[in-house]
Structure 1
Amino acid sequence: MHSPVTGTAAGVPFTALPPASPGPAPLIVTWHMLDAPRSDAAFAAALPMNDVPAWRVHLGMPMCGARMVDGSMAAGLELLREDVLMSALWPFVWQATEEFPAALASIRAQLPVEDGPIGVLGGSLGGAVALRVLAHTEIPVFAAAVVNAAVRIRSVVSLFPGDYPYDAESEKVADDLDFVTKAGVIAERAPLLVVSGEQDHPALRADASDLTAAVGARAELVAIPGLAHPLADEPGIEPAPQLPQTRAVDAQLSTWFRRHLPEPGRHH
């Protein structure tokens, strides 16, 4: 396999995996989870999609990987404790979506990728970013996939201890990050694969099922036996050997993206 290419795109750290054959190739962009694997390098090792003839560019989420404060996740975890939704989950998703168009332009300038539609993939909170790119941007997408995704942010907030004190502002944010309500827009944008671990949190499994049903004919739901929420062992910051359940996810994603890859030279 080719070695990963690392760099930054408009300030966003990335780990890029080149396709096996040289020459311009389609582009698939990913956003990792806050659980393990919680960096672009670790996510690239967990879900490399090696047999997809495309560039797979794994982007770092805010305050993760190369953007950790003082080289640790402590500052990010502190934000989760301070206000899980308004200090952490929402700003991370918002920033990752907002910085993406400039990062995409920079990736296109740095790597030999085709200028047609891209693939998008997100895990957990990164899944909310991928869904938000579908729901809130005009960037052309040939196919999308999410794994154990934050489909409804209220379900993610409910995984943290205590009753969350919603107010008018946080209710509005929670509505914005409920992608089941945006299924109509998502259905028009791209075919969507929804991967759900059979041992994932029950609320997230229910949301995955609801999203698939709401998107309709252009969505497929795949359940992965034995897969809990994380896709790698702790600490999940450095690349690690692929776990058996994660290998099953990788195979599903590879098949999905191969099936939907744009034909060479046919961009729009």
Structure 2
Amino acid sequence: MYSSVAAGVPYVLRPPESGRAGAPLVIAWHLMDAPRTERAFAAALPLEGLDAWRLYPGLPLSGDRSPGFDEVMRLGYSEPVLELHGRVNAEAVAELPALLDAVRAEHGIGGGPVAVVGGSAGAGVAGAAVVGKVVDAAAAVLISPLLQLRPVVGILARQFGMDYRWTPDSDAVADRMDLVARSDELGPTPVRSIVGSEDSGDAFLYPAGRLRDLLVERGVRADLRVVNGMGHALAEEPGVDPAPQTVHAREVDALTVEFLAQELELA
């Protein structure tokens, strides 16, 4: 496992088991819940047995780029759409092309197929990268995915006891990040969503099921796997440093590898 910084973005890179430069590349963004750094996510979701380059970028405002826990909490309380979720999503997508160019050049990664993976906010980034045509993804795995921002903000509002007032600007961000409403823009990319049975129905389970249904209606390969007993997170708190894989993370890892191996023709 190699950890460094490229184009200003901290990342972890795992090489393919075969050492092939032209092996597929899987880009995997972490959650803002545990595991909340690229290092912790690489430990929770190592994608063992997948003959692919596995790139784990750090999200903006997270890990080494975090302004501190208190400041992140302040942003989440004062303006969760414009200053936190919308900002992280837009900045992560915008910095991806330069990151990919730098990592490919440094490590000699060839032009094999690309897949995207993400957890929660990272799943929103993975979907946005496909919708925005930043990557031509051969497959996507979205874990505990943030597919629609409005119900997630509703959860945050209840959690922090705040009354969030939507504005035209924040409505525009929510529309941009609505991967259910924008499902047509995912094109032919096969998608597997993985959600815990104990996660929020309104914010995560229902949107994931709706996305699957819309993609299948268009003839796109898509499914939904529900992990029994799992909540939203994939690691124990604090979720900053690499930690032993949990039972649920091991199941998610296996489901992700299974889908990517099939879609990348590595099985």
TM-score scaled by length of structure 2: 0.93
Count residues with an aligned counterpart: 257
Report the 3-state secondary structure (helix = DSSP H, G, I; strand = E; otherwise coil) of the residue aligned with 2:250.
helix
Aligned partner of 2:3 in structure 1 is: 6
Distance in 1 of aligned mates of 2:46 and 2:34: 15
Distance in 2 of aligned mates of 1:65 and 1:28: 20
TM-score scaled by length of structure 1: 0.92
What amino acid is aligned across from residue 138 of structure 2 in structure 1? Answer: F
**1:151/1:207 contact within 8 Å kept:** yes
RMSD across aligned positions (CA): 1.3
**2:143/2:193 contact within 8 Å kept:** yes
**Paired residues for 1:94-133 under 5 Å:** 94-133=90-129
Deviation at residue 122 of structure 1 after TM alignment: 0.7
Deviation at residue 106 of structure 1 after TM alignment: 1.1
Aligned partner of 2:175 in structure 1 is: 175
**1:116/1:140 contact within 8 Å kept:** no
Report the 3-state secondary structure (helix = DSSP H, G, I; strand = E; otherwise coil) of the residue aligned with 1:15.
strand
Deviations 1:2-35 (A, max 9, x none): xx10111211100111222223121100111100
Aligned partner of 1:42 in structure 2 is: 40
Aligned partner of 1:134 in structure 2 is: 130
What amino acid is aligned across from residue 231 of structure 1 in structure 2? Answer: L
Aligned partner of 1:56 in structure 2 is: 54
Deviations 1:17-56 (A, max 9, x none): 1222223121100111100000000000000001100011
1:18 corresponds, among 12, 15, 25, to 15
Aligned partner of 1:77 in structure 2 is: 73
Deviation at residue 89 of structure 1 after TM alignment: 0.6
Q: Can you give the 5+ residue segments of structure 1 that lack an aligned partner in the other structure? A: 264-268
**2:97/2:134 contact within 8 Å kept:** no
Deviation at residue 75 of structure 1 after TM alignment: 2.3
**1:141/1:189 contact within 8 Å kept:** no
**2:113/2:264 contact within 8 Å kept:** no
**1:117/1:139 contact within 8 Å kept:** no
Aligned partner of 1:30 in structure 2 is: 28
Hey, which bits of structure 1, 4+ residues long, moved more than 6 A? Answer: none
What percent identity do the matched residue pairs reach? 33
Aligned partner of 1:266 in structure 2 is: none
Distance in 1 of aligned mates of 2:163 and 2:222: 33
